[in-house]
Structure 1
Amino acid sequence: MKIKIIETTDAQAWDAYVRTHHRGTLYHLSGWKNVIEKTYGHKTYYLMAVKDDGLVYGILPLTHLKHFAFGNSLISIPFFDTGGILADDEQTENTILTEAARIGRNLRAENIELRHVAYLSCLNCNFPDPFGMKEAVQIRSHKVLMHLTLPESSEVLMKSFKAKLRSQIKRPLKEGLYSKIGGAELLDDFYEIFLVNMRDLGSPVHSKKLMKNVLEAFPDKARIVIVYKENEALACSFIIGFKDILENPWASALRQYSRLSPNMLLYWAMLEYACDNGYAYFDFGRSSPGEGTYKFKAQWGATPTPLNWHIISLNREPANVETSQASKFDKAIQYWRKLPVSVTKIIGPMIRKHIGL
C-alpha cells in the first residue's frame, strides 16, 4: 500500500471515496484543501492510501497550524466539527496514521488532532506503533453535534412542533421580518452581521475570504440565509449540503434586535429549506451539553451525538487537553468585546487563522 499526498488530478477519486464511505462527511471533501490554502495560506497534507490495483482504500485530510501562542499541530480539519481518517479497514487506518505521525515529526508538531465522531479503532489493535501513539492519545468527548431528523416536508415539520415553538416562529413574521436565501450576492450582508456578533462574543472573526472561497468551492450546495426587517439585515447563517445532511457551520444575529426574535425565523428558514430540498437531517453544529446554545437547538427537537476528538501527542507524552486553544484565548475575551468593530475586522482574521477551533 502506498500513501500519497494528493494532487489536483486525485481530487475526483478522493471525493468519490468520501461520498461512498459510510462515515464520509462534508469536511472530508477535497474542496476544503483549496479553501484553507487560499484563505489562510496554511500548508495541507491530504493523504490517500492507494494499492497496486489503483483503488483508494483510505484518506486523511490534514492542515498544519503553527503559531507561537496557539501551538504547532496537524488538524483534521481546523475550524469545523468533523474530519479524521476514513478507511476500509483498521490496518489501512494504522498505515495512514503512521504516515501522519511521520509528517508531524518532520514538522516538529506537538500533536495530531483528529475530529472523529466514532472512535479510531486501530488504536486498540496490535499494529506496529513506531511513534508511540497509542500510549499518548487522549479523546475529548466534551462537545456534541446536534442533529434533527427531518420529515418529508416543511409543512409536516411545522405541525410536529409544540404550540409554543410555532408561536415563536410566527412572532418575527408578524413584526414584518422576512428571510432570503441566496449566494454570493448576500455575502456582504452576512459578513456585516457575523463581524458584529463575533466582536460581541469576544471572538476574533474569520476572514470574509473564507466564506467567499466556500461559496466558490461548493457552488451547488452552499447558500447564505439572511433575515431582514425592511432592508436591514438582522440575522444570518451559512448552510452547505452533503449527502442527506444540511450543515450549518455559521449563524449570527444582532443583539439589539433580539426582541424581534430574528433567530427563530432564521432557523425556521434553514429547516424549511432542508425539508423542501430533500435532506433527511439538519446539523445545528457543535454545542456543550447544558449550555444555552444546546438548549436552543434541543427545543427544535435536535438530539446530541457525541464528538470524539482524538488528540495524539507526538512527544510520547499525553497532551494536556485542558489547556486548549480556547482556554488560552479566554482571558482576552473581555478586552476584545470593547474593541471597535472596524478594528476587529482588520486584526481578527490575523488571529483567527491560527485558532483551530
Structure 2
Amino acid sequence: MIEVFEKPDAACCQRLRNDLTSLGHLLVEHDPRWLTVLNAGLGQRPYLLLDRSSDGNLCGYLPLALVSGRLFGRFLVSLPYLNHCGVVSNNVKTSMALIDAAVKLADRLDVQYLELRHLNPVPSDQLVVQRDDKSLMILDLPSGKKDLWSVIGSKVRNQIRKGQKNDLSIIWGGQELIGEFYNVFAINMRDLGTPVYPRRLFSLMMMQFKQAAEIAVVRYGDRPVAGALLITMGGTTQVPSASSLRSYAATCANMWMYHQLLCRAIDRGSRRFDFGRSSEGSGTYRFKEQWGAKPLATVWQYYVRRGDINIARPNSPKFKRRIAFWQRLPVWMTRLIGPPIIRGIP
C-alpha cells in the first residue's frame, strides 16, 4: 500500500536516506533533503510517496513538490530545479502503483499537470505525454588530473591557458562565499532574461548537504567574476548552478573555472561529472561536449489534466519580448521581484 506524506518530518526523511543508502539508490537527485530545500527555499509544498513491504523494507518511493503561482498555475513535479528525479523502485508493479498514487494526488490538488523527470521512461497508461528533447551531459572522469589534461581538446586547453595568464584565482568554501557567488549569479540571470532564484535557496543547499556541497568563486584580481555550487555524492559531482560575468568573458574565467571544477571532482574521488541537461546542437550542449561529455537521454513524463506542458518554458516564442524587457531591468530589481516569479515556474 502506498503511503502519502505531506511535509514529511526529519525522522521520516532520515529513515528513507538510510534505506536508499543501504540499497545503493542514494543519488544526489533522489536525496529526500531536496524536499526540505525546495519547501524552505522556494515555498513549494513537499510530498513523499512510499511503498514498504509488510516487514518494513523499502520497495519504492516518489518525491513530489507542488509548484504554484499566479502567472502559470499549479503543477506537481518530481522535482523542480533538478534535471532528473522521479520514481525509485525495485520492480515495475511498485513503479506503477507509485504513479497511480501520484495521479490521484494530482487530481486532488487540481494541478494542470504531473511532471516526472525520469532518465528512463516508466511504463504507465496515464503518462501519455513526454519530452525527450534534452540529454544529460556526462563526463567519465579519468583517475588523475594529468590524464584529464590529455583528454580535453587543444582548443579547450588553449582557453584554459589564457585564463591562467590572467589574474584569476579560485576560492573554495561554504556559507561565507554565498554572497559573492550570488552576486555573480544574479547578474548572469538578469543578462539571460531569467528570474533569479532566491539567495536562501543556495544557503539551504549548503546547510542540508553539508560536506557534500561546496561553493567555488573565481576572482579577477579582487572582483568575483564566476562561481559555482557543487554537490558530490555517490561517485558523481554535479553543478546545480554556475555563472560567470559576460563583461569578463575575455579573461576566459568560465573555461578556467570549469577546469578547476573537474579537477576538484577528481580530487574528491568522483568517477563522473554531471554537466546538466541541454538540447542537442544548443550553445550549452556544445560547451559541455567540448570537455568530452557524452549525452545521456532523459524522458520527462506527464499526466496532463489541462493546458500545455510548454506553458512556462523560457524558449517559447511568446516570452521573447518579456525576456528582452527583463534584460533591461536593474539587477537590484530582478533580485527583488525575481524570486516570487521563479517559485511558480516548474
Residue aligning to 1:32: 34
Superimposed CA distance per residue, residues 77-109 of structure 1 (whole angstroms, 9 cap, x where no aligned partner): 001101101011111111111111111111111
Partner of residue 51 from structure 1, selected from 46, 50, 53: 53
* 3-state SS of paired residue (2:82): coil
- Correspondence 1:349 to 2:339: yes
Return 257-266 or 157-166, whichever deviates more. 157-166
* 3-state SS of paired residue (2:83): coil
- Correspondence 1:339 to 2:329: yes
Equivalent position amino acid for 2:36 in 1: N
* 3-state SS of paired residue (2:85): coil
Partner of residue 94 from structure 1, selected from 93, 96, 107: 96
- Correspondence 1:169 to 2:160: yes
Please report the TM-score for the alignment, with normalisation by the length of structure 1: 0.92
Residue aligning to 1:201: 192
Residue aligning to 1:130: none
Measured after TM superposition, the shift of residue 349 of structure 1 is 0.5
Residue aligning to 2:227: 236
Equivalent position amino acid for 2:309 in 1: V
Q: Please list, as runs of the form range in 1=range in 2, the aligned pairs for 1:248-287 lying within 5 A after superposition.
A: 248-287=239-278
Equivalent position amino acid for 2:271 in 1: A
Partner Cα distance (1:32, 1:335) in 2: 32
Partner Cα distance (1:45, 1:194) in 2: 29
Partner of residue 216 from structure 2, selected from 198, 221, 225: 225
- Correspondence 1:178 to 2:166: no
Partner Cα distance (1:281, 1:38) in 2: 29
Equivalent position amino acid for 1:342 in 2: W
Residue aligning to 1:127: none
Tell whether the 8 Å contact from 1:81 to 1:285 is kept in structure 2 after alignment: yes
Equivalent position amino acid for 2:261 in 1: M
Partner Cα distance (1:253, 1:331) in 2: 24
Partner Cα distance (1:196, 1:64) in 2: 28
Please report the TM-score for the alignment, with normalisation by the length of structure 2: 0.94
- Correspondence 1:114 to 2:105: no
Flag the 1:115–1:211 CA change in 2: closer, same or farther, 3 A.
same
Measured after TM superposition, the shift of residue 12 of structure 1 is 2.4
- Correspondence 1:299 to 2:287: no
Equivalent position amino acid for 1:353 in 2: R
Measured after TM superposition, the shift of residue 20 of structure 1 is 4.9
- Correspondence 1:140 to 2:131: yes
Deviating beyond 6 angstroms after TM superposition, the runs of 4 or more aligned structure 1 residues are none
Measured after TM superposition, the shift of residue 75 of structure 1 is 0.1
Partner of residue 320 from structure 1, selected from 308, 323, 326: 308
Equivalent position amino acid for 1:229 in 2: Y
Equivalent position amino acid for 1:118 in 2: N
Partner of residue 141 from structure 2, selected from 150, 172, 186: 150
Equivalent position amino acid for 2:308 in 1: N
Tell whether the 8 Å contact from 1:182 to 1:223 is kept in structure 2 after alignment: yes
Tell whether the 8 Å contact from 2:2 to 2:49 is kept in structure 1 after alignment: no
Tell whether the 8 Å contact from 1:57 to 1:87 is kept in structure 2 after alignment: yes
Q: Quick one: percent identity of the two aligned structures?
A: 32
Equivalent position amino acid for 1:3 in 2: E
Superimposed CA distance per residue, residues 156-208 of structure 1 (whole angstroms, 9 cap, x where no aligned partner): 11122233322211111111212121111111100000000000000000000
Tell whether the 8 Å contact from 1:13 to 1:56 is kept in structure 2 after alignment: no
Partner Cα distance (1:292, 1:25) in 2: 27
Equivalent position amino acid for 1:31 in 2: R
Measured after TM superposition, the shift of residue 320 of structure 1 is 3.1
Return 22-31 or 202-211, whichever deviates more. 22-31
Residue aligning to 2:17: 15
Ranges in structure 1 where 5+ consecutive residues have no aligned partner:
124-133
State how many pairs are aligned: 342
* 3-state SS of paired residue (1:26): coil
Partner Cα distance (2:310, 2:182) in 1: 32
Measured after TM superposition, the shift of residue 139 of structure 1 is 1.2
Partner Cα distance (2:121, 2:153) in 1: 36
Tell whether the 8 Å contact from 2:67 to 2:76 is kept in structure 1 after alignment: yes
